[in-house]
Amino acid sequence: MTGWQWLALAGLGAFHGLNPGMGWLFAVAIGLQERSRSALLRACAPIAAGHAASVLIVAGLVGVFRSVLATRLVAIGGGAVLVAYGLWRALSKRHFRWAGMRLSAAQLASWSFLMSSIHGAGLMLLPVLVAGPAPAGHQHVAAAAGASLWAGAAATAVHTVAMVGVAGAVALVVYEVVGLSILRTAWVNLDRIWAYALLGAGLATVAVAVAS
Amino acid sequence: MTLWKPDPSFYPSPRQAVSAPPEKLAYLAAFDRSAQKPDAIAVLDTDADSHTYGQVVGWTDLPYVGDELHHFGWNACSSALCPYAPHPHVERRYLIVPGLRSSRIYVIDTKADPRQPEIVKVLEPEELAKHAGYSRPHTIHCGPEGIYVSALGGANGNDGPGGIALLDHTSFEVLGQWEIDRGPQYLAYDAWWHLGHDTLVTSEWGTPSMVEDGLVGELLLGRKYGHAIHFWDLRKRRHQQTVDLGDQYQMALELRPAHDPTKDYGFVGVVVSVEDLSASVWLWHRSGKEWAATKVIDIPAEPADPALLPPILQPFGAVPPLVTDIDLSVDDKTLYVSCWGTGELLQYDVRDPFKPVKTGSVRIGGIVGQVPHPAAPDQPLRGGPQMVEISRDGRRVYVTNSLYGSWDDQFYPDGVGAWAVKLDADPGGGIALDERFFPHGDDFRGRRVHQVRLQGGDASSDSYCYP
């Protein structure tokens, strides 16, 4: 992967981290409920783990597919999935509806995993993941798949560190400085922006693959 | 239906909701006891600067007769900001209005013209019966993942158990029965929750056969009405614990949990003790890992000349206070208690919830007192303070006078009348009737008035996930 790909993965991580629905808001709520900043910080770990797991599945699948199929095919197929998913997110009025306030670390990680997955967090990385040449070694599929998985894991790690860094920072700033009233004015409808981002990423992936 | 920014009437915490602007309008459930005319939602002007202040300025008749409107609520509220199921870009615009007698549920849109709300959907009783197995829908609460509807009765030929039906909060379709494991719970009435503790609380009145034709003396003296509250795991939808107040404490009705989600206590009102006709308010709280309830307010019956009493009370020679509603201010500091029998509204300082301190009292109506409103001092009033609602800032208190058609007729056989009043609450304690606010009688076109909801939310409409 090139420098700009790592940068893009980190940038998307920051974008995901900003979304209150991806976890920082939950961390703030836990901190307030427990009246403890360290409870807030502790909550960031399972939130990051759940997000990483969700992203890793997509990154891993892309890697494995690329090692057995032409990159172009993976890009077009993946791009189509992304467009369909973006449309569904844009049109759907449903929202996440499981869980409660008192979650164990494992439950919080599962919540984060489900929340990231239904929002298509991993899918949004697709254009970055399919850019650039596939790992060499088509004659040894197993070895190539292994290398792809490692690349996927590295991509997930970079993305997640950026995500949880931003989410944790936002959570701390809201908890310590600006307070909850910020929610009333600054909480724009990210679900809508998010859906358009998915659509755009899908269209771009397909366009680039077709043009190349 | 989705907004770019959160609905401005949503507040993350009760601390912030207290700074909400004063309500301009109030919605009232009005019903025709004779079931000849349709029930209605009446709209009251609550803007003190308006020239129609205190008057009925809007009216929406329902398409059927005999619904008996009772309680109602909003489609969405501050719980939409909860972190685990966030959807803050929905609008608070629909009133969810059940008919307690007909089991119909109306969805009424207040957005286009807040003074002439429009019926946009009618859920027939068959849908509630088919999907949830309930009838006689009662209390409405907007939860993080759907609209909760408590219902008094069973369906499909069953008198009970009553319980909670869940409605989808975009389509308003009945999603199903909320309970996965109801344990020993059979009677139902109110339901509310501690969102910060994943705990739901329910209370007990009676099944439809026990209440629809009036209070049944044998059931009351046989201590058969509800006298327990139930605690549930809100997430797993399972019954956890029953706290029995004692079977002399008949009819444990309104539940008012602390709004602060870090707190785990709340108040429940008991209508009458069969031992001495007193009424009481109880505090539920934790005791170790278990829930417990402690009586914190006791209101004695008032002796009276039997000649002045309705037949149902003549043998006792006393007026029971009949605490039929209580309401807790958004800041959890003040509790209001309605005594529908004696005609008194009481105000308590509950900053220490175990030791309420009485800070105010106003007499209006009442079985014997029939105390008039200062705006019409020559006009005796029947009925008493019943449903009580507090503005979010805690400064204004609204009260209506009808309890429930058949029960009105027993306790006020000469006609309960129809009136709504407003009181100004002094932040330092004390309440006084607002002389400019007294819609009554013909203002309500022959209907009785049951519950008030304030535009933008009130003390019993919203719940919060942040302290």
Contact B387, B400 (CB under 8 A): yes
Categorize the per-residue pLDDT at A192 as very low, low, confident or very high, splitting at 50, 70 and 90: confident
> How far is the CA of B152 from the CAs of A127, B101, B138, B236, in angstroms?
55, 10, 7, 22
Q: Best residue in B16, B19, B166, B466 to probe A by mutation, most A CBs within 10 Å?
A: B466
- Which member of B83, B196, B262 has the closest CB to residue A25? B83
What is the pLDDT, as a whole number, of residue A129?
86
Which residues, other chains included, contact B69 with Cβ-Cβ below 8 Å and sequence gap of 6+?
A: B29, B30, B31, B39, B40, B41, B62, B97, B98, B99, B100, B450
HEC secondary structure over B24-88 = CEEEEEEECCCCCCEEEEEEEECCCCCCCCCCEEEEEEEEEECCCECCCEECCCHHHHCCCCCCC
Side-chain half-sphere CA neighbours of B171 within 13 A: 9
Is A181 in CB contact (< 8 Å) with chain B? yes
Contacts of B196 in chain A (CB under 8 A): 33, 101-102
- The pLDDT of residue A80 is 83
Q: What is the pLDDT of residues B364-391, one digit of tens each?
A: 999 999 999 999 999 999 999 999 999 9
Ranked by mean pLDDT, which of A80-89, A190-199, B20-29 comes out on top? B20-29
Q: Look at A89-103, B55-69, B200-214 and tell me which has the smallest mean pLDDT.
A: A89-103
Strand intervals (E) in B411-465? 420-425, 431-433, 448-454
Question: Mind listing the pLDDT tens digit for each residue in B140-196?
Answer: 999 988 999 999 999 999 999 999 999 998 899 999 999 999 999 999 999 999 999
Rounded Cα distance between B99 and B407, Å, is: 16
How confident is residue A135, by pLDDT bands cut at 50, 70 and 90? low
Percent residues over pLDDT 70 in chain A: 92
* Mean pLDDT confidence for A130-134: 72
A196 reaches B (C-beta below 8 A): no
Cα A166 from chain centroid (whole Å): 13
Chain B residues whose CB is inside 8 A of the A93 CB are 1-2, 170
**Closest residue on chain A to B17 (Cα):** A181
Each residue of B373-408: b (16+ CB within 10 Å) or e?
A: beeeeeeebbbbbbbbbbbbbbebbbbbbbbbbebb
Q: Does the model's ipTM exceed the 0.95 cut?
A: no
**A95 lies within 8 A of chain B by CB:** yes
| Percent of chain B whose predicted confidence (pLDDT) is above 90 | 96
| Cβ <8 Å between B13 and A180 | yes
- What count of Cα atoms within 13 Å lies in the side-chain half-sphere of residue B198? 15
Q: Is B81 on the interface with A (CB under 8 A)?
A: yes
Which chain A residues are closer than 8 Å to B5 by Cβ? 184-185, 187-189
- How many domains does chain B fold into? 1
Q: How far is A112 from chain B (nearest CA, A)?
A: 9
Instruction: State how far the Cα of B185 lies from the Cα of A145, in Å rounded to an integer.
Output: 57
State residue B1's pLDDT score.
Answer: 56
The pLDDT value given to residue A185: 85
Residues of B in contact with A101 (CB under 8 A): 82-84, 195-198, 261, 465
| Contact state of A33 with B196 under an 8 Å Cβ cutoff | yes
B186 lies in which domain range? 14-454
- Identify the pLDDT of residue B260: 98
The reply to whether residue A99 touches residue B465, judged by beta carbons under 8 angstroms, is no
In a domain, B401, yes or no: yes
Q: Which two tokens stand for residue B457?
A: 């939310």
Residue A35 pLDDT greater than 70, yes or no: yes
How far does the CA of residue A171 sit from the closest CA of chain B (Å)?
Answer: 12
Mean pLDDT of chain A: 86
Element (H, E) at A31: helix A24-34
pLDDT band at A49 (very low <50, low <70, confident <90, very high): very high
What is the 3-state composition of chain B as percent helix, strand, coil, each rounded to the nearest 5? 10, 40, 50
Mutate to test the interface with B, among A174, A183, A196 (most CBs of B within 10 A): A183
Q: Which residues of B touch A96 (CB under 8 A)?
A: 84-86
Decide if B112 is inside a domain.
yes
Has residue B234 been placed in a domain?
yes
Bond before B161 cis per omega within 30 degrees:
yes
**pLDDT for the residue B33:** 97
Reduced DSSP (H G I as helix, E B as strand, rest coil) percent helix, strand, coil of chain A, to 5:
80, 0, 20
Q: Does B6 touch chain A (CB under 8 A)?
A: yes
Q: Does any domain span residue B285? A: yes
Q: Return mean pLDDT, chain B.
A: 97
Where residue A119 falls among pLDDT bands split at 50, 70, 90?
confident
Q: What is the pLDDT of residue A98?
A: 65
For A185, nearest residue in chain B (alpha carbons): B5
Q: Which band of pLDDT confidence, cut at 50, 70 and 90, is reported for residue A205?
A: confident
Residue of B313, B336, B332 lying closest to B263 (CA atoms): B332
B11 touches chain A (CB under 8 A): yes
A163-172, A182-191, B62-71, B187-196: which range is least confident on average?
A182-191
pLDDT for res B205: 98
Using the Cβ of A118 and the Cβ atoms of chain B, whether some distance falls under 8 Å is answered with: no
Whole-number pLDDT of residue B210: 98
Q: Is residue B94 over pLDDT 80?
A: yes
Is A65 in CB contact (< 8 Å) with chain B?
Answer: no
Asked, for residue B60, whether it belongs to a domain, the answer is yes
pLDDT value at A93 more than 80: no
pLDDT bucket at A70, cuts 50 / 70 / 90: confident
Please indicate if any CB of chain B lies within 8 Å of the CB of A93: yes
B197 is written with which tokens?
Answer: 């503790």
In a domain, B119, yes or no: yes
pLDDT at A138 over 70: no
- Asked if residue A136 has pLDDT above 60, the reply is no
Show residues of chain A in contact with B263, CB under 8 Å: none
pLDDT of B87 reads 86
Q: How far is B1 from chain A (nearest CA, A)?
A: 9
Q: Which of A107-116, B180-189, B332-341 bottoms out in mean pLDDT, i.e. has the lowest?
A: A107-116
Contact B465 A98 (CB under 8 A): no
Smallest CA–CA separation between B87 and chain A, in Å?
Answer: 7
Residue A142 predicted with pLDDT over 80: no
Q: Give the length of chain A.
A: 212
B377 in a structural domain: yes
Mean pLDDT of A173-188: 90
pLDDT: which is higher, A185 or B161: B161
pLDDT at position B375, please? 97
Do the domain assignments include residue B1?
no
Extract the tokens encoding B138.
């009662």
> Cα–Cα distance between A77 and B362 in angstroms, integer?
72
- Point out the least confidently predicted range of A93-97, B38-42, B377-381: A93-97
Task: Say if residue B323 is exposed, middle or buried (CB neighbours under 10 Å; 0-12, 13-18, 19+).
Answer: buried
User: Considering only residues 186 to 205 of chain B, which have any Cβ-Cβ distance to chain A shorter than 8 Å?
Assistant: 195-198
In this prediction, residue A94 carries a pLDDT of: 65
Interface of B with A in 233-252 (CB under 8 A): 234-235
Q: What is the 3-state secondary structure (H, E, C) of A81-115?
A: HHHHHHHHHHHCCCCCCCCCCCCCHHHHHHHHHHH
The answer to whether B263 contacts chain A (CB < 8 Å) is: no
For residues B24-52, one letter each, b for 16 or more C-beta atoms within 10 angstroms of the residue's C-beta and e for the rest, the string is: bbbbbbbbbbebebbbbbbbbbbbeeeee
- What integer is the mean pLDDT of B425-441? 96
Summarised one tens digit per residue, pLDDT across range B305-324 is 999 999 999 999 999 999 99
A193 touches chain B (CB under 8 A): no
CB–CB contact B5 A96 (8 Å): no
CATH label of the domain that carries residue B74: 2.130.10.10
Tell me whether residues A100 and B3 touch, CB distance under 8 A.
no
Instruction: Please give the average per-residue pLDDT across B241-262, as a whole number.
Output: 98
pLDDT of residue A141: 67
How big is the A-B interface in CB pairs under 8 Å? Answer: 93
Residues A21-30 pLDDT 10s: 899 999 999 9
Say what the pLDDT of residue B46 is.
98
Residue in B with minimal Cα distance to A183 = B12
Task: Give yes or no for residue B71 having a pLDDT over 80.
Answer: yes
Q: What is the chain B residue with the closest CA to A192? A: B4
H-helix or E-strand containing B334? strand B334-339
Query: A16 vs chain B: nearest CA distance in angstroms?
Result: 15
* Residues in A 29-58 with any Cβ partner in B closer than 8 A: 29, 32-33, 35
Amino acid A95: pLDDT: 65
